Amino acid sequence: MRKGIRFVIGIIGCILLFGLGVYQLSFGSEGSYSEWFAWFCVIGAPISALGMYRNYKLATS
């Protein structure tokens, strides 16, 4: 049960991080560190979510 709660909280965090990255790419200033951070969020959040999903499936099977 606790693994499920941690998984859901982690996925919500990844979704928020992905949304923050998309927002920064859409409305942030270009050429600054925020653009690098935005790309890190957009690329890293789905990879992190897939890793968490894989670990959750291994732990519950």
How far apart (Å, rounded) are the C-alpha atoms in residues 48 and 51? 5
Q: CB count, 10 Å around CB of 6?
A: 13
Torsion, CA 58, CA 61, CA 43, CA 2, rounded to 10: -90
Full-model pTM = 0.77
Taking only the tens place, the pLDDT of each residue in 7-17 is 889 899 999 99
Tens of pLDDT, residue by residue over 28-49, are 777 677 788 888 989 999 999 9
Whether residue 50 has pLDDT greater than 70: yes
Structural domain boundaries, residue 50: 2-60
Tally of domains within the chain: 1
How many angstroms separate the Cα of 58 from the Cα of each of 3, 13, 51? Answer: 11, 21, 11
pLDDT confidence of residue 1: 64
Does 20 score more than 70 pLDDT?
Answer: yes
